[in-house]
Amino acid sequence: MEEIKKYLKHGKQTIPSDKITKLANAVPGDGFDFVVGTLDWLDKNLRVERNRPDWDKTFHKRTAAQIVDDGFSTGCTDVALVFVSLCRTKSIPTKYVEAIGKDWLEDRYKEGRIHGHAFAEVYLNDRWYVVDPEMGTIYVASTPYRFFEIYGTGLDTWDVGLHSFEEMRDKFLDFKKNYESTHL
Judged against a pLDDT cut of 90, whether residue 13 lies above it is answered with yes
By CB atoms closer than 10 A (0-12, 13-18, 19+), residue 32 is: middle
Q: How high is the pLDDT of residue 12?
A: 97
* SS3 call for 123: strand
In the chain, the percentage of residues whose pLDDT exceeds 90 is 80
* SS3 call for 151: strand
Q: How high is the pLDDT of residue 109?
A: 63
Instruction: Report domain extents, the chain.
Output: 2-183
Q: How high is the pLDDT of residue 146?
A: 92
Q: What is the mean pLDDT of the chain?
A: 93
Q: How high is the pLDDT of residue 68?
A: 97
- Strand pairing report for 127-132 and 137-139: antiparallel
* SS3 call for 155: coil
Residues 42-52: tens digit of each pLDDT:
999 998 888 88
Q: How high is the pLDDT of residue 29?
A: 95
Predicted structure pTM score:
0.94
Mean pLDDT of 144-162: 96
Calculate the alpha carbon distances from 25 to 83, 104, 161 in Å. 13, 39, 30
Mean pLDDT of 174-183: 90
Strands (E), 84-163: 94-101, 116-124, 127-132, 137-139, 148-154
Judged against a pLDDT cut of 90, whether residue 121 lies above it is answered with yes
Residues 81-108 as b/e (b if ≥16 CB within 10 A, e otherwise) read bbbbbbbbbbebbbbbbbbbbbebbeee
- Strand pairing report for 116-124 and 94-101: antiparallel
CB 110 within 8 A of CB 104: no
In the chain, the percentage of residues whose pLDDT exceeds 70 is 97
Give the contacts of 63 (CB within 8 A, at least 6 positions apart): 12, 13, 14, 15, 81
Residues 81-119: tens digit of each pLDDT:
999 999 999 999 999 999 999 999 988 766 667 889 999
Q: How high is the pLDDT of residue 57?
A: 86
Torsion, Cα 100 32 65 50, to 10 degrees, reads 40
CA distance 48 to 101: 20
Domain 2-183 has CATH 3.10.620.30: yes
